[in-house]
């Protein structure tokens, strides 16, 4: 198991513990948010839906933009690596994108 995998598992474990604690803390009296149908006017509901829609759209746009950014950076690095390997005469039978020169 590599150091990266250990770090990843440790991080996930800490976060899972945090979520468990949050769930325990959540079961308390005097809640900040109370369930029940809001007695709001239709225009208030429509306004709420507009903000809800904007917020969830923003989440997906940000996540999609990040994935595109990662993918672009990966392609650029792979091209750069291929160029360097050709320059160093390392291009052989090994798979593209893998370095044997470490």
Partner 1 sequence: MLQRLPLALAAIALPLALREAFLVAPSEQKMGVVQRIFYFHVPSAMMAFLGVGLCAVLSALYLWRRDRRLDVAAEAAAELGVLFCTIVLITGPLWARPVWGVYWTGEVRLTSTLILWLLFVGYLLLRGQAGADRDATARFAAIVAIVGALDVPIIYKSVEWWRGLHPKVLKVSGGGGLDPAMARSLLVCSLAFLLLFAALFLERLRLGRLALEVAALEDRAARIEEGGGAQA
Interface with partner 1, residue 1, by CB under 8 A: no
CB of 94 to partner 1, least distance (A): 12
Interface with partner 1, residue 11, by CB under 8 A: yes
- Please report, for residues 47, 52, 89, the alpha-carbon distance to residue 44 in angstroms, rounded to integers and kept in the order given: 5, 12, 67
Whether residue 77 contacts residue 96, with contact meaning beta carbons closer than 8 Å, is answered with no
What is the total count of residues that contact partner 1 (CB under 8 A)?
A: 59
16 vs 8: CA distance, rounded Å: 12
Locus of tokens 């005469």: 89
From the list 25, 22, 83, the residue with the least C-alpha distance to 96 is 83
Which of the 8 DSSP states describes residue 29? Answer: S
What mask, x for binding partner 1 by CB under 8 A, covers residues 62 to 81? xx--x---x--xx--xx-xx
Binding site for partner 1 (CB under 8 A): 3-4, 7-8, 11-12, 14-16, 18-19, 22-23, 25-38, 40, 44-45, 47-49, 51-52, 54-56, 58-59, 62-63, 66, 70, 73-74, 77-78, 80-81, 84-85, 87-88, 90, 97, 99, 101-102
């Amino acid at each position: 198991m590599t150091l990266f995998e250990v770090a990843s598992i440790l991080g996930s474990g800490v976060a899972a513990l945090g979520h468990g604690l949050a769930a325990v803390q959540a079961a308390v009296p005097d809640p900040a948010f109370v369930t029940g149908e809001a007695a709001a006017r239709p225009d208030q509901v429509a306004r709420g839906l507009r903000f809800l829609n904007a917020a969830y759209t923003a989440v997906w746009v940000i996540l999609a933009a990040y994935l595109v950014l990662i993918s672009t950076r990966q392609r650029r690095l792979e091209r750069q690596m291929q160029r360097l390997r050709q320059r160093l005469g390392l291009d052989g039978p090994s798979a593209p994108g893998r370095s044997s020169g470490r």
